[in-house]
Amino acid sequence: MNARAIAVLLTALFTAAAAVSWTFPPRARVYPMWVAIVGAALAALTWLRAPRSETVSGPTLSEIARYLWWIGALLVTTGILGLPTASALFAAAFLKHEGKAGPGASVGAAIATGVGLLVLGAALDLRWPPALIDVTRLLGLS
Amino acid sequence: MIEAAFAALGTLFTPSTLSFVLLGVGVGLMVGILPGLGGTVGMSLALPFIFGMDPDQAIALLIGIAAVVHTADTFPSVLLGVPGSSGSQATIMDGYPLARQGQASRALAAAFFASMAGGVIGAVCIFLVLPVARPMVLAFGSPELLMLAVLGLSMVGILSGDRPARGMVMAASGLLLGAVGAAPATPFYRFTAGNLYLYDGIPLAVLALGLFALPEILDLLAKGERIATEGTQPARGSVLQGLKDVLASKWLVVRSAVLGVGVGFIPGLGGSVVDWISYGVAARTSRDSEGFGSGDIRGVIAPESSNNAKEGGALIPTLLFGIPGSGATAVLLGGFVVLGLQPGPRMLTDNLDVTLLIIWTLALANVFGTLACLSVSGLVARLARVPAARLAPFLLVIMLVGAYQSTRSWGDLIAFLVIGTLAWFLRRADYPLPPLLIGFVLSTSVERNLFLSVERYGWSWLGHPGVLVITAMTVALTWGSMRVSKRAEQR
């Protein structure tokens, strides 16, 4: 997605926000409506000024998609096993597959991540997302 | 007052009080280093423990935490380009480019020395200003606060680089995102689509982490890079270089610290904007400012001096009126109540010893915090040389933990992922992201104060002396920066 396409999308979003704001009660309406109108005008201006074809630098969506799947997998595992356990598994798997680390380093990273999170959680009274089978809670570790 | 000051210093240097300062500094550093957690979280952690404690020790603990959170939050800002807390957002502008150039140790050292100087100047400023601060605080009404927010918004020009139109679109996006949730003027929820998570708006920590952390990590992973793309400087020489940088910019440090105290002591403006303002002022008023945004050490020194000084400024309305100047001071206020202290003008008469102890603790904790951070900065800076694929899993976990603490709901994690992915697209298309953050931070302040000003004064508030002075400052700074930009283009 290049700058022009984003400008078109933003113009549409600001316009929609302005239209939705119109339905709000007067005291809730003025600020978002005017911000949206100004935003739509600025985004349209950017759209008109953006070159038709602009070279975009950096990695492509297909190159980062793999890592988005990793993060998605971490979130799903967190929902099932709880954050400390999911993080430990994630660290080991990621280091093994993406970091090309040896099995010893991967297991060490898993233990360090899990234990580190539990210690940090206890010290700072942190909360973890609720999970279907919270392994650390079942083991009485959190 | 001088005698009382020495007596308070004596109290501070008793072993028990001093040990609580150190404990507070330790907790503050730990909280500061984790992205997404700030002083409010640190103070909240300590609050349950102060029941029944000796007031001197409890105050040493609480102030020790508050004083150093903005020292330690420099680590993620410089090394990862992720704001460690709301007070270190602007540090990423030049701190992270310096880390990419292999100068992480220098940037960290300069930031720590600047933080220490800012914190100490903040403490001195409270000592000097406290007796005469009352009319100054009362002079700031909603119109003046609105214009200060506009002054903050004018920084968008600086933060947009050579894409001013895109910067303004991003600022408008931030202002609109800030309007999500409860309207300040009426009981109505906007743009929530019936989703309970959005009723309180998007949390700042989630937005900041999503905007800056996730796109950066995704890019580093995809490119197979390390954070430091160039050779890394040795840590010891860099610490000395950082000190030299701060000494060379001593007036910038003083100016930014005084600005930090000034913004901090205005209740309601919030600490999240002070670093942007001091960064913008530094970029607009410094000579040879073309390097700002691409690794100018002054872009690290200015916000770091002001965010620690701000804690001192925020204590003034807290002590004098019982009005918290920031989230952390709101919790501190709760601590005062627990300890049986009543904030108000009597803090300068009946409880002068406590007030002076607070000031001394603030200064000393800043020194301790800086020494602690400097002692580990070389080690931590080495992280910049670790390949992204080996660092990313730990960073992602820390970020998820930090994001989740915002409202402690699944929405935080989902919002982090969605915002991060959208930010990646924006960044790739060369849309500057800092203006979005500054728009978001200032959104509530702009709307609330605009509403209050119009309701209370009609449009006559536009003629208030304070409004005129701040407007003149905004115009002068904008005009000055435009001139500097033009000169740079001509060269």
- Are A88 and A37 found together in one domain? no
Q: Give mean pLDDT, residues A69-76.
A: 95
Look up the domain containing B112 and give its range.
Answer: 2-490
Which chain B residues touch A7 with a CB distance below 8 Å?
A: 169
Q: Please tell me the predicted confidence (pLDDT) of residue B183.
A: 92
Least CB-CB distance to A91: which of B394, B413, B426? B394
Which chain A residues touch B179 with a CB distance below 8 Å?
A: 31-32, 35
Q: Please tell me the predicted confidence (pLDDT) of residue A10.
A: 95
Q: Please tell me the predicted confidence (pLDDT) of residue B269.
A: 61
Nearest residue to B339 via CA among B19, B61, B131: B61
Distance in angstroms (rounded) separating the CA atoms of residues B75 and B88: 10
- Are A134 and A114 found together in one domain? yes
Nearest residue to B144 via CA among B472, B484, B479: B472
Are B190 and A39 within 8 A, CB to CB? no
- Are A71 and A105 found together in one domain? yes
The angle subtended at Cα B222 by Cα B216 and Cα B225, nearest 5°, is 75
Rounded to a whole number of angstroms, the CA Rg of chain A reads 23
Q: Please give the residue of chain B at the shortest CA–CA distance from A4.
A: B429
Backbone angles phi, psi at B223, to 5 degrees: -85, -15
Number of domains in chain B: 1
Are B41 and A124 within 8 A, CB to CB? yes
- Are A93 and A71 found together in one domain? yes
Task: Give B220's contacts (C-beta < 8 A, 6+ positions apart).
Answer: B226, B227, B388, B392
Q: To 10 degrees, what angle do helices B15-33 and A103-124 make?
A: 130
Residue A24 falls inside a structural domain: yes
Backbone angles phi, psi at B180, to 5 degrees: -70, 135
Number of domains in chain A: 2
Q: To 10 degrees, what angle do helices B214-223 and B388-404 make?
A: 160
Counted across chains A and B, CB pairs separated by less than 8 A come out at 165
**% of chain A with per-residue pLDDT over 90:** 62
- Are A84 and A130 found together in one domain? yes
pLDDT tens, chain B, 491 aa long? 777 788 888 888 888 888 988 988 888 888 777 766 667 777 777 777 777 788 888 888 888 888 787 778 888 888 888 777 766 788 888 988 988 888 888 899 999 899 889 888 888 888 888 777 767 767 778 898 888 888 878 877 767 767 788 889 999 999 999 999 999 888 999 999 999 999 999 988 888 888 888 888 898 888 887 776 665 555 567 788 888 999 998 899 999 998 888 887 776 565 667 888 888 888 877 777 777 888 889 999 999 898 888 878 888 877 877 776 666 777 787 888 788 887 777 777 777 888 888 888 888 888 888 888 888 877 777 777 788 888 889 989 988 988 888 888 999 999 999 999 999 999 888 888 888 988 888 898 899 989 999 999 988 999 999 899 989 988 887 776 666 666 655 65
**What ipTM, to 2 d.p.?**
0.93
Look up the domain containing A23 and give its range.
Answer: 3-49
Backbone angles phi, psi at B226, to 5 degrees: -105, 170
- Are A91 and A134 found together in one domain? yes
Which chain A residues touch B453 with a CB distance below 8 Å?
A: none
Q: Please tell me the predicted confidence (pLDDT) of residue A84.
A: 93
Which chain A residues touch B401 with a CB distance below 8 Å?
A: 83, 117, 120, 126
A114 HSE (CA, 13 A, CB side): 20
Which residue's entry shows tokens 């028990």?
B16
B389: tokens are: 């694929």
- Are A121 and A85 found together in one domain? yes
Which chain B residues touch A39 with a CB distance below 8 Å?
A: 169, 172-173, 175-176
Task: Give B270's contacts (C-beta < 8 A, 6+ positions apart).
Answer: B86, B326, B441, B445
Nearest residue to B84 via CA among B149, B136, B37: B37
Question: A37 pLDDT band (50/70/90 cuts)?
Answer: very high
- Are A39 and A65 found together in one domain? no
Neighbours of A28 (CB within 10 A): 22
Q: Please tell me the predicted confidence (pLDDT) of residue B383.
A: 75
Task: Give B441's contacts (C-beta < 8 A, 6+ positions apart).
Answer: B86, B89, B152, B174, B178, B204, B270, B272, B273, B276
Q: Please tell me the predicted confidence (pLDDT) of residue B271.
A: 60
* B326, B332, B333, B334: CA torsion to nearest 10: 120
- Cβ-based burial of B192 (10 A; exposed 0-12, middle 13-18, buried ≥19): middle
Are B404 and A129 within 8 A, CB to CB? yes
Are B30 and A123 within 8 A, CB to CB? yes
B436: tokens are: 């979005």
Q: Give mean pLDDT, residues A118-123.
A: 84
Residue A25 falls inside a structural domain: yes
- Are A37 and A85 found together in one domain? no
Are A28 and B185 within 8 A, CB to CB? yes
